[in-house]
Chain A
Amino acid sequence: MITTVETLHPPTRRGLELVLLIIAVAIVLLAWVTVDLNRNGTVPANIVPVAGGFAALALIVHLVVRWRAAYADPVLLPIVVVLNGLGLVMIHRLDLARGRLGVDGDAYRQLIWTTLGVVLAIVVIIGLRDHRLLRRYTFISLAVGIVLLLLPLVPGLGRTVNGSRIWISLGPFSFQPGEFAKVALTIFFAGYLVQTRDVLSLAGKKVLGFTFPRGRDLGPILVAWVLALLILVFQKDLGSALLFFGLFVAMLYVATERVSWIVIGLLLFALAVAFALSSFAHFQVRVDLWLDPFSPSSLAMSDQLAKGLWGMAAGGLTGSGLGAGRPWMTPFAESDFIFPSLAEELGLVGAVGIIILYLIFCQRGVRTALGVRDGFGKLLAIGLSFSVAFQMFIVTGGVTRVIPLTGLTTPFMSLGGSSLLANWMILALLLRISDQARRPLPPASDTPAADAAAADVTQVVKLR
């Protein structure tokens, strides 16, 4: 119900966000205490500083949002705090099982990365006053995205993990640059498509009820396709290829409102998958494992999918309880398989809860895309939301046997700094756009932001 008065002065909903945040922090702390009670029979010794620090992080973001993005969506941040926190609790729980304590533990590193993620989000919220400013960097984003994507292929820098070459090593640190490429390319897609959408959506012939684009307008989708193919061939990473190409097709569809792009996209991807299947044993193995993970030959090749499924089955409806299951028996329990790990200990009830949290997060992003007034913002918001949703689907669908297993991180939960930083950045951007979407229109149009947007448009015309 929107009344006239509320239209003029919509509530900021910061109070609601604070309440949800308190609940979120409480859930995470309860989970953590449960783990330690179940494993060691005691409340964690460092509960006061760590819990205080975690709550403080959440509170700081909340205060920054209150200060700089007062109309931002109130649900996004609390969901991210719960997901990130549950990921931390599970990583800590696996540390306990493996006897890695304190600073030796993965949880310690993940906590530091979480802090850095929060800092990055704050920088974005404060530094980026208006998301439309990002349009200036459309082609820089493209360059950054492509460089990041191709970095793992640089000899001496790239590392092959679990058959896929999607990591780079810099001294003691390792990154998955693809996570940041995702953000950069989403910005590029949004900026590029908002300029070209008219051409891409209007010209073309009608065949079988679909308006197909002219041959020369196929350029962009072919470039994206070739890029995805390169990832597929040289990095052997079906997950990333699927994510980037799916993201591009989805955004193309939103920009042009033309179903034919989806048809073309699906055909192209099917072609690529057929090619990959016929050319690389790596993919055939994954498909075999997907079709029958429990056959003796599959188990001899790789039993990680089977072990993950057994873990989930062991959890059953209500789960073993945090700290009382055996998630460490599954390889990559803290990264690709963190969802089965949580599902084992929290049960189907917990698994459903986590999936619903992601769903709400993405649907709040969709709501933001619907609400924001400018085309660039719409594309950026839907692109970011869809990338989180699609990535969650690819990795979780992989471990629950909806699709073949491909290595991707579970957003906000998996162990890994690059993933956390990139996803906190996505959160910050969505908060920024949603603030723009819900903020009442300024009385006059000569605000710096509108000027910037206007300047942006002029610049783009020059570029073309």
Chain B
Amino acid sequence: MPLSFPYVGTFTYVFESIARGMKRDDIIVPDEPTYRTKQLGSLHSSEFVCTPFKMLLGSIIEVIEKGAYEIVATVFVDYCRLGYYSPLYKIILDDLGYDFDLINLDWFNKVEFFTSFKKLACNVNAVQAFQAFRVGWIKNRYIDQIDKTLYSYGAVEIEKGASYNVAHKLYRQVVETEGMKNIRMLPEIIRKTFDDEVEIDTEAKPLKVGVVGELYAVVEPAINLDIMRRLNDIGVITETPITFTRWIDLGQRMNPFKKWHYKACIKHAKPYVRYPLGGKTRESLGAVIEYKEKGWDGVIHLYPFTCMPEIISRSILPQVSREHDMPVLSLVLDEHTGEAGIQTRLEAFVDLLERKKNDGNGF
């Protein structure tokens, strides 16, 4: 039965790799979300639900239209409405009369998790399935590496768009590489390809801005209006600590010496919020302090309209920002495509950081 999944930023490549590793040759790769995806999603969702819900629903409908039957919906639960995504998708899609099978990978419900996983891995035995998953989490590291390199090279590249093109070539290469020996060579290939094919301005002293906030808002360019690229275009190096590594990378999770960025952030946030409030509340708050200590210039906080956990961070952030002298820009994202508003805020924020860095002397 054709297998598919909704599009979630560059994680899509990881998912594709895992499905391929499980010898599923009937994968339908989702397309990048477009204007139509947003419209489809919001047409069939309740008006006040989070924007990621709408976008993912739109993406699911699009893959069903392309012929998918088995659909992997949510993989993570985050103590907010995210836990209700899958059951709601099922009700909505049933009502719309689609023929599909929603596969819910819920780690907290171990029995369901393994039955679902078995359905996915119908073509392979348990060892092969685990191996495919392992290849997936290792490839995820390299996808993250490409993202990270892209968002720093993009700020200082001489020919605009060069690193973007290189990155897209490399994403495909990561998905298509097979055999552990070849996969282990990827980090070196990625580093070398960027070095060889992107000419950078070595004189530039770019600003550095971290992007934190709600998971989907940070990783999906279609909802954040390609904020990373916009920042790169105005000469700012950026990165996001929010990737899928912390969930799927069992290799790193089992390593007791691994220093997790999010754990450091949660510790920093302790004076402000002591217990989990869902989503990335504590992490968003702590990231401001973490980036300050790393010597970065500012932090951008993204959250979808009506996102409950991030609304909490939004109201505490000004205090954290003031107490640690770290500029923070909060941006609320919704279906709007009017880019002028976001562009104005970003440019003004970067001007502010630049003046702050140069002690008020010119731009």
Do A and B originate from a single complex? no
Residues of chain B whose beta carbon lies under 8 Å from any beta carbon of chain A? none
